[in-house]
Amino acid sequence: MLRLFAIAMFFIFSFNHLLAQTKVEKTELGFQLIRNGAPYYVKGVGGEGNYEKMVQIGANSVRVWGVENAESVLDEAQKKGISVMLGLWMNQERQGFDYDNSEKVQKQFNYYKTIIERYKNHPALLMWGIGNELDLDYKNPNAWNAVQDIAKFIHQADPNHPTSTVTAGLDSMDVAYIKERCPDIEILGINTYGDIGNVSKNIKNFGWEKPYMITEWGPRGYWEAPQTEWNVSLEQTSSQKRDLYYNSYQNYIEPNKNYCLGSYAFYWGNKQEYTETWFGLFSKDNFPTEAVDALEEKFKGEKVKNPAPSLSKISLDAKIASENISLKAEETYRAEAVLNSKDAENKNVKFNWRILEESTDKKSGGDAEAEAQEIQGLIESQMNSSTIKLRAPETPGNYRLFVTVKNNGKIAYANIPFKVLPRSASDKQAKFVKFKYTDMKDFD
């Protein structure tokens, strides 16, 4: 009998040792996360893959929005010694879900009960993210009742991991609803971009008395950016984004550690959202961008030894993006990308130029978008140069010129929107001949 008791105690001890327990603890100054008995400040990224790189830059946690790949994400994170904010993606009203439909709400609740039971003891689990941006373009506050039902169940089934829900930006009415309807939510997650500097002030003014996290942050959003006269948004260069990631972390995340329990930088990967480069911390072919260097410097507190190249300017027809560039169809023009001084004399830096149609599949809330169409044959050979000659497309419309610069296995990038105007009857007509397409295999 004694032996059976000893064996049982051994397994209980082993189980508790494997299970990573996380809790929110009140302190004299505010709050902190405690994981396995020690303070745990989240230095996180949002998105799957490149786990080795996460560890390399000093990240300790990853956020995912849904459970489609939960098993592999949790297992891979455990191997690398990082934690997971596991998202329970809840249906959104803006996509047609009705939170007054009790049958559908119950079905969603029942599904997540099984998910919670399945993963609650995984040693990589840090916390639960119940819903993402349910408040985006919504009208029915009963969505928060559904969040509360899941949060309450988690507290019953899994006392070892905190609960959170995530809003699109910060709105006083949403805070009021969550306070009133979601008492079992312990941490408020906030997705914020250009408004990140106002979060610490507004969250107090709006009456949130529990801790919070910045669950998405990064460059200025396309909805916040200045636009051309034809209403397309101007994207920051990767060098401008690098500075923004660095300064946002230093000025608006780190100083608020007593209430902000950490953050998840967006987006650890690459995605088409407004453009193919707007939010991705990696290129389409999986090279890290300048912003990854900024995260490494802040997470590790030291300078990066082999940084990405850096751009100071891109121009087309001697104009910058804010000058509303219009080109005449079929005419030839010059474009230039100017490196910052540290890279200007580096002969190992490579350039790749491309012309894409302006995306016609722009959506909101991170919904999947189709990639913009590339127009080939418009850039004269010697593409691997900081200065090129290009021919304007023969079809009038909106386009973007993209440049990618590579060195040290990392990239910088920029794009510049332009409008193509039709040729007039008085313009000299010439046969439109495309340049020979340049194969850029050597760029890789």
Assess whether 341 and 289 both reside in one domain. no
Question: Given a cut of 50, is residue 358 above it in pLDDT?
Answer: yes
Taking residues 184-201, report their average pLDDT: 97
Assess whether 172 and 316 both reside in one domain. no
Last residue of a domain, one of 250, 277, 300: 300
What pLDDT, on a 0 to 100 scale, did the predictor assign at position 351?
93
Region of poorest pLDDT, from 11-20, 144-153, 165-174: 11-20
CATH code of 34's domain: 3.20.20.80
Is residue 342 domain-resident? yes
Assess whether 51 and 80 both reside in one domain. yes
Assess whether 30 and 85 both reside in one domain. yes
Assess whether 393 and 257 both reside in one domain. no
Last residue of a domain, one of 280, 300, 320: 300
Is residue 14 domain-resident? no
Is residue 145 domain-resident? yes
Assess whether 105 and 243 both reside in one domain. yes
CATH code of 385's domain: 2.60.40.10
Residues 6+ apart with CB under 8 A from 6: none
Taking residues 57-86, report their average pLDDT: 98
**Domain residue limits at 349:** 311-443
What pLDDT, on a 0 to 100 scale, did the predictor assign at position 348?
83
Is residue 4 domain-resident? no
Is residue 401 domain-resident? yes
- Which of the four pLDDT bands, split at 50, 70 and 90, describes residue 430? low
Share of the chain above pLDDT 70, in %: 91
Assess whether 281 and 332 both reside in one domain. no
Assess whether 148 and 268 both reside in one domain. yes
When divided into structural domains, the chain yields a total of: 2
Assess whether 158 and 26 both reside in one domain. yes
Assess whether 237 and 379 both reside in one domain. no
Assess whether 372 and 428 both reside in one domain. yes
**Residue with more model confidence, 424 or 400:** 400
Is residue 9 domain-resident? no
Taking residues 16-27, report their average pLDDT: 84
Q: State the pTM of this model.
A: 0.92
Is residue 3 domain-resident? no
Assess whether 320 and 371 both reside in one domain. yes
Each residue's pLDDT tens digit, 363-396: 888 889 999 999 999 998 666 789 999 999 999 9
